[in-house]
Amino acid sequence: MLDLRMRPTRCIRSMFLLVLILFVLLNMHVLMNFEAKKSTSMDHSFLNRLRNQQNIEHAHVQNDRMQIVSDINESKVEFLMYPNQYNRTFNSGSVQESNLTQIKMEIDRINQEQYIHNLNKFGLKLKSDSIVIVVQVHDRTKLLSILLESLKAVRKIEETLVIFSHDYYSDDINKLIQSISFCPVLQIFFPVNAQLHPKEFPGEHPNDCPRNVKKEQAIKMKCNNWEHPDKYGHYREAKYCQTKHHWFWKLYRVFDGLEVTRNYTGQILLLEEDYYVAPDIITTLQMMQSLKRKECKDCRMLTAGNYDKTQSYVANSGKVELAHWISSRHNMGMIFARDLWTEIKKCAKEFCNFDDYNWDWTLQHLSMKCIPGQIKVLKMKATRIFHMGDCGVHHKGKNCNPDIKRKQVESIINSNRQHLFPNVISIQGTSRFKLRDPKPNGGWGDIRDRELCMSFMKTNV
């Protein structure tokens, strides 16, 4: 590692580095032992499993070098890794996209390794005022590439960890993720996905009842799920059920599963593959966060985006509105921390049994019926997120050109550049919209969906 032909100054620098590394290693030893004593036996065996993975080709170095550092400062460091501690970055096995067995093995490997890429470049320091970004990804590669471009331009992006949560494995998507060089990146895969189960639940089994048959007919057909139509008498449509499962699973995975975030007390920002983010999203959210601490202690969520037709950055760049969380208004760019997740988890049964295949309407139902004190939110009045995939999952056929949409959004951002990065953030007004318990949209009557949804609690961690 050391080049012996170095000049004296470099030599001294190397000596210094060496001493530093020894110091860090020594500290780490102490810390790791300390942590091992504190953790429960289950945690311990999980760590051991990760450390001794004979069955995995490329042993995972990261866990051995992880530090949990306590500090008496207000925003203590919870996870710390210096740049250049090791050098490995993306590696992918050779996977044939048509071979589901191989995809399953690869997904399991990646989920087990929990490898964070680009740490050699940036290191990672998570604190209680950090923002970890979690992006839910399905299969819209083009839109994802636009999101990545926008993320690249975000100030302080290199300080965050961006977690991509996938429910579909594809080389194109992986290549795109692997091309990211501007921040630490971690990929996770929702394992119980439809791609891996094309002819069985949670995909569509050949003997599943068609959406529109009546129950009496379904009984005669003896189709699998005849007993469980939704409240409108329809049977499940596999392609619409996955998103809610994935949404719920990834939160378990991030808050309770992943080594890097399981003790994290900072914020997470939820994005989707068809979003476009403004360059000041992180800085503005951090300012909102401290506003929340001062002026709205019972707000449990912030939202960076909104769907308002007219946006005025001149007037509203630093303005924030207080509201009750309403799914159709506040579901874009939600950020929250473990305290709200704990409340959502306590309502898992309600979440999994509410007859609505939309996670956001379900969450609104929880806010109304299950979460004590409801979910109050601070909303940015000038949106920092744009929804590019307006056509959505439901309108695949409709004419929808992401490039045109992107040009529009870029021009909005460019013409308002001098109003981004506000100096002051303040609460201006309260939303006049009342929270109500939403009428369930259906699509979630199948007992198998309800059971799968409930299973994440037990199996994920």
For the annotated binding site for Mn(2+), the residues are 274, 387
User: 53 has which bridge partners?
Assistant: none
Q: What are the helix (H) ranges across 40-158?
A: 41-51, 100-113, 119-122, 141-152
Q: How many CB atoms lie within 10 A of CB 423?
A: 7
- Residue 92 found at the interface with ligand NAG (CB under 6 A): no
Binding-site sequence positions for substrate? 136-140, 167, 242-246
Q: How many residues does the chain have?
A: 461
Nearer CB in complex with ligand NAG: 17/105: 105
Least spacing, CB of residue 327 vs ligand NAG, in Å: 41
Residue 116 contacts residue 252 (beta carbons within 8 Å)? no
Least separation in angstroms between residue 102's CB and ligand NAG is: 4
Residue nearest to ligand NAG (CB): 99
Pick one of 45, 99, 411, 426: the residue that binds ligand NAG (CB under 6 A): 99
- Quick one: DSSP state of residue 256? I
Report the distance separating Cα 249 and Cα 230, nearest Å: 22
Q: Which two tokens stand for residue 438?
A: 């939403």
Site for ligand NAG in 280-309 (CB under 6 A): none
Residue 69 carries which side chain, given as an amino acid letter? V
Q: How far is the CB of 98 from ligand NAG (least distance, A)?
A: 8
Q: Rounded to whole angstroms, how far apart are CA atoms 367 and 373?
A: 8
DSSP secondary structure code for residue 435 in this structure: P
In the complex with ligand NAG, which residue's Cβ is closer, 161 or 196? 196
172 token code pair: 């194109």
Q: Supply the minimum distance, in Å, between the C-beta of residue 138 and ligand NAG.
A: 24
- Identify the H or E element spanning 302: strand 299-303
Compare residues 101 and 328 and give the one whose CB is closer to ligand NAG.
Answer: 101
CA 249, CA 115: separation in Å to the nearest integer?
19
Helix runs in 207-317, H state only = 215-221, 238-252, 281-295, 313-316
Binding-site residue ranges:
136-140, 167, 242-246, 274, 387
95 vs 425 by CB, closer to ligand NAG: 95
Question: How would you classify the pairing of strands 426-430 and 334-336?
Answer: unpaired
Span from 10-18, 97-105, 287-295, 384-392 in contact with ligand NAG (CB under 6 A):
97-105
Should residue 102 be labelled a site residue for ligand NAG when binding is judged by CB under 6 A? yes
Nearer to ligand NAG (CB atom), residue 75 or residue 92: 92
Choose between 97 and 437: whose C-beta lies nearer to ligand NAG.
Answer: 97
- Which residues in 223-262 contact ligand NAG (CB under 6 A)? none
Phi, psi of 116 (to 5 degrees): -100, 120
Quick one: which of 27, 52, 101, 179 contacts ligand NAG (CB under 6 A)? 101
The rounded distance, in Å, linking the Cα atoms of 146 and 240 is: 24
CB of 305 to ligand NAG, least distance (A): 41
* Binding piece for ligand NAG, criterion CB under 6 A, among 99-107, 211-219, 261-269, 302-310: 99-107
Task: Give me the least distance between CB of 72 and ligand NAG, in Å please.
Answer: 51
Binding residues (CB under 6 A) for ligand NAG: these are 99, 101-102
